[in-house]
Amino acid sequence: MNKKISIAIDGPAAAGKSTVAKFVAEKLSYIYIDTGAMYRALTYKALKKHISLENEDELINLLNDTTIILLPGDQGQLIFLDEENVSEDIRTREVTNTVSIVAKHKLVREEMVERQKSFAVNGGVVMDGRDIGTHVLPDAEVKVFLLASVDERAIRRHNENIQKGFPSDLAKLKEEISLRDKLDSEREFAPLKKAADAVEIDTTALTIEQVVERIMVLALERIG
């Protein structure tokens, strides 16, 4: 039987991480874990309960009292928060523009990382986020850092919004993506950073298929 490896995919917002991670997981029959969805779920619950996103103690108490379950669905990953399906609710603009505040807290990150590591104990996992190669799976056999220009990433999100029939302002999106990247890269604990042993792929001019293909080559080399 082939060896089951772990694949870590990191990078800034809208670089294509979750799209390609899902395809790679499908091709290898691995599980896919969207760690951003976990930070989003906690942010959604904190906003609903009117908890200050700056209050680390309250946030960690809330998280300790929260179940977050990720399940594969036909249209992508499904996210259950305390048994409620919040897959759509965690993608709102309000959550997107505040999640980086929640994700900066050390205690919140420690608890999230512990949960994320537990999903990967047996290998056979593709995990995407910001600190997977650096903190969550430092021994992952394949580490990829996906990049794309901020203009391209804003256009990708803009196109997604238009497809879904949501209002969308390209200039505003670019501003919001840049701010989130800045907060994620400059935070004190586990900032967004390429792991020293990660392979960088600039996806600006690549199709999804081309990116998937490059990661599959890296994965198959390690699986043997």
Of the candidates 190, 188, 203, the residue with the CA atom closest to the CA atom of residue 133:
190
Nearer to ligand CDP, 92 or 223 (CB): 92
CA distance 177 to 183: 10
Task: Find out whether 130 and 10 touch, Cβ atoms under 8 Å.
Answer: yes
Shortest CB 175 distance to ligand CDP, Å: 14
Shortest CB 24 distance to ligand CDP, Å: 12
Binding positions for ligand CDP, rule: CB under 6 A: 11, 13-19, 35-36, 39-40, 99-100, 103, 129-132, 156, 160, 180, 184, 203, 206-208, 211
Nearer to ligand CDP, 4 or 193 (CB): 193
Shortest CB 2 distance to ligand CDP, Å: 26
Residue nearest to ligand CDP (CB): 36
Shortest CB 133 distance to ligand CDP, Å: 10
Nearer to ligand CDP, 3 or 52 (CB): 52
Nearer to ligand CDP, 3 or 204 (CB): 204
**Per DSSP, which regions of the chain are E strands?**
6-10, 31-34, 68-73, 76-81, 84-85, 125-129, 142-147, 199-202
Q: Which residues carry a binding-site annotation for ATP? A: 11-19
CA distance 216 to 193: 22
Shortest CB 26 distance to ligand CDP, Å: 14
Q: Which residues carry a binding-site annotation? A: 11-19
> Mind giving me the DSSP string for 104-150?
T-HHHHHHHHHHHHHHTTTS-EEEEESSIIIII-TT-SEEEEEE--H
Distances (CA, A) of 217 to 11, 144, 213: 19, 12, 6
Nearer to ligand CDP, 141 or 202 (CB): 202
